[in-house]
Amino acid sequence: MGDPALSRRGFLTASVAAGLGVSALSGCGGSDGGSSSGTTTVEWWNISTTEPTKTVWAGLARKFEARNPRVKVKVVQLENDAYKSKMTALTASGKLPDIFHTWGGGVLRQQAEAGLVEDLTGRTAAFAKGLLPVAKQPYLLDGELYGIPFDIGMVGFWFNKSLFRKAGIGSPPTTWSGFLDAVRKLKSAGITPLALAGKESWTGMYYWAYLAMRTAGVDALRKAGEDKDFTGDGFVRAGEHLKDLVGLRPFQRGFLGAAYSTPTGQAATVGNGRAAMELMGQWAPVVEADAGKGLGDDLGFFPFPAVEGGKGVITEVFGGGGGHALRKGAPQAAVDFLRFFASEATDRELVRTTGVLPVVPAAESALGDDNLKAVQARLRGATGFQLYLDQAYAPALGQQVNDSVAGLIAGSTSPRQVADAITRTAKEEQ
């Protein structure tokens, strides 16, 4: 699967650009985790840093240890951006954790082509066949399975019903022009329409990605990735639509310096009722309640609107899920942990306590939240699906998408410059 040396050099270039020395990160992979006492230690890296997920996942590790007394699970939990940066450097070093969070797509493919991750097709066949097929899609590379999902979902707008009523908005908008009208109504009512974590570029990317899907069409994103060309009119118009939104000044004060899950960040701003909406994945309610107070019955969900005259439709969804991959040569205990995490009992606990959508069909009955049921219904009825762009594409290209869109939102980059910058990076990755 490609040239491992080239793949690793690509990761190393990205890690140097991010200012990360490989020597700063150590202790991952490279052994069977055994000890003289006969105990196997597996290192598990994940991004579950908010409650209740952080505690629930740590508890699952302890439960696994209780059932497997000769295994110890070392849990490393990192915030999203810090995780991505450190994994980039670790991949460049050729030493990955035994078990690690993955979104699949281009990042996982590059790790696989570098010979750093385990092909799980045979080792997990006994239990992976029972998982939802759509949940496994991001981890299938040339028909082989390189990750086991624990979540699946989509990005959409989470909104405050009370603030919508206060602004005189009777129902969620279904078109882009209707969405801009709703933003104007909220501002006229003295309400901040949108919360955004401008400090974390992946949050703004969601807007451009969806607008590209709605304007150019979901197939155009796939073709642009293959052709290394994002200069088409549909992609430029996506940036123009986003520029129109930014021109309305819809975000909270200080959004360019705001993080996502901190007490003053994007999720808390919505969860505390200080903004009417955020564009976020299915995990949003949990993070809003952890970082802020949460909205309870006032929280609603609606899909990203259709763009008039665009080639995309409202039933095409953008998102993905979370999964776990293993480093090449990971011990059997790591495979056993994946089996434990993908069991019906664990999936039910995750659905019930952390708000994830089930990947084990038998666990679906544990889903009680009406908003998450709405997300699941949208996924079932989806006519197209696009993985997060910073995961669907190779790492350098995904980061360029994030950075270029962040520049557009900050007012330092034009829609045409966004398309040109992404294309240049795509061609450089060849």
Question: What is the tens place of the pLDDT at every residue in 67-96?
Answer: 999 999 999 999 988 999 999 899 999 999
pLDDT at residue number 302: 96
Q: Is the pLDDT of residue 267 over 70?
A: yes
What is the Cα–Cα distance from 282 to 259, expressed in whole angstroms? 18
Closest CA to 262 of 292, 234, 232: 292
Beta partners for 159?
277, 300
pLDDT of residue 243: 98
Residue 217, SS3 per DSSP: coil
Lowest mean pLDDT among 57-66, 227-236, 379-388: 379-388
CA distance 62 to 76: 14
Give the helix, strand, coil percentages of the chain, each rounded to 5.
Answer: 50, 15, 35
Average pLDDT over residues 208-223: 96
Nearest Cα residue to 241 out of 218, 272, 262, 210? 210
In Å, what is the CA distance from 220 to each residue of 138, 232, 396, 430? 18, 9, 20, 19
* Structure token pair of residue 54: 């952080």
Q: What is the pLDDT of residue 1?
A: 40
pLDDT score recorded for residue 430:
57
Taking a C-beta distance cutoff of 8 angstroms, is the pair 191, 163 a contact?
yes
Helix (H, G, I), strand (E, B) or coil at 323: strand
- Rounded to whole angstroms, the Cα distance separating 34 from 177 reads 60
3-state secondary structure 17-46: HCCCCHHHCCCCCCCCCCCCCCCEEEEEEE
pLDDT bin (cut points 50, 70, 90) of residue 60 is: very high
Q: Does residue 33 register a pLDDT over 70?
A: no
**For the segment 339-387, what is each residue's pLDDT rounded down to a tens digit?**
999 999 999 999 999 988 999 989 989 998 889 888 988 888 888 889 9
Would you state the torsion angle of the CA atoms of residues 25, 79, 323, 145, taken in this order, to the nearest 10 degrees? Answer: -30
Q: Are 225 and 392 in contact (CB under 8 A)?
A: yes
Written as one letter, the residue type at 274 is: R
Phi, psi of 373 (to 5 degrees): -65, -35
Distance CA 318, CA 385 (A): 6
Range from 13-17, 270-274, 287-291, 384-388 carrying the lowest mean pLDDT = 13-17
Confidence check: pLDDT of 23 > 80 = no
Q: Is the pTM of this model over 0.85?
A: no
pLDDT tens profile 114-167: 999 999 999 999 999 999 888 898 999 999 999 999 998 899 999 999 999 999
- Strand ranges, E, within 34-113: 40-46, 71-77, 99-102
Mean pLDDT, the chain, rounded, equals 90
> Quick check: 242 and 408 in contact, CB under 8 A?
yes
Give percent of the chain above pLDDT 70: 91
Residue of 389, 401, 414, 295 lying closest to 107 (CA atoms): 389
Weakest mean pLDDT among 26-30, 138-142, 187-191, 237-241 = 26-30
